Structure 1
């Protein structure tokens, strides 16, 4: 049986040059995204800080019925923008590595059971315990928010975790009707879109991924976390 011929040096050199070009393009794209996010955050925070400062100087009751009704609404929306801005900054920092993640050993199934118990949800893990190296607090926050987001879609939520081939598969069953058009896209239901973006940033820094999978006719939102 004949063996395939190895590519000629010229072909290998072309492939290497092409890979270098792709890597440079990706690096430039990542740098552009980081710079854009940083610029946008600066543009948002400057007027936001000024508006919040002025708002804090106003009395709680002005005596004007229209102002007394409008000011709490303005305050709530400004605080909402502030929370969103801070979260974008956190996600950007996690993605770029400027916000470090802890690398400590902890019991991943135990953490999942605690999160599920606090939310009144079911949790099944196989095996029942297992050590994982990573940022326990960030992952706990991610699981908490994904659980709440899935519950907002379906009215109930549970966690299924299984160790398969050297990686943990942490799954959240989705409703039978698979409302994928609403899956983490609306700004309501506790900010589920931001929950998914944060999950992808944190899990990605652990070398894993987050996505929708189907098994046995059931759709799952699934986190893959390699050991």
Structure 2
């Protein structure tokens, strides 16, 4: 691998920034100063130091984030804080992105990665990856709703949604509210909210609990994140 590509992928800086850093004699390969970014190295065997610290090569990064409300699922936004903004400086990389989107007011599990192939497999409708949500609903969810969701139906704009699994956790008749879990395999715009609107109910709180085999770590506070464990990554 070219040295400039190695340094860029390791998060030292952009290709342009790396070029300048090389000129400043800040990089050594096997104890030898190197200014030429075109130099080919063995990314796993050669010892590369930047400003005296070893640069370890890692191609892909995976972070499990407990997304809070008020943060948008994007890499950059002119008005709002993004999920990428929640990363510590030492974990920030320009190629990280959220896998899919959670609405600004939705909490829960979000995967951040730079692995485009994995993201595609998790998001492709053809892969039938489950996405499980917990929701608090204004209105009483009924067994009739369960059957409607199980059959698949048309939203208010006639857009069709596939069959899903609706589980009723709690009904509060006094307050006319419900607590449910919903498993879908799609990711249409505001899908969960629109599904309940179609049966004359309103989502007042929404949280994603699971995506495929990846389950939200309840030990993670809102806004916190951690790398995936080796087991989680293998299961994905």
**TM (normalized to structure 1)?**
0.24
More strand by share: 2
More helix by share: 1
**TM (normalized to structure 2)?**
0.23
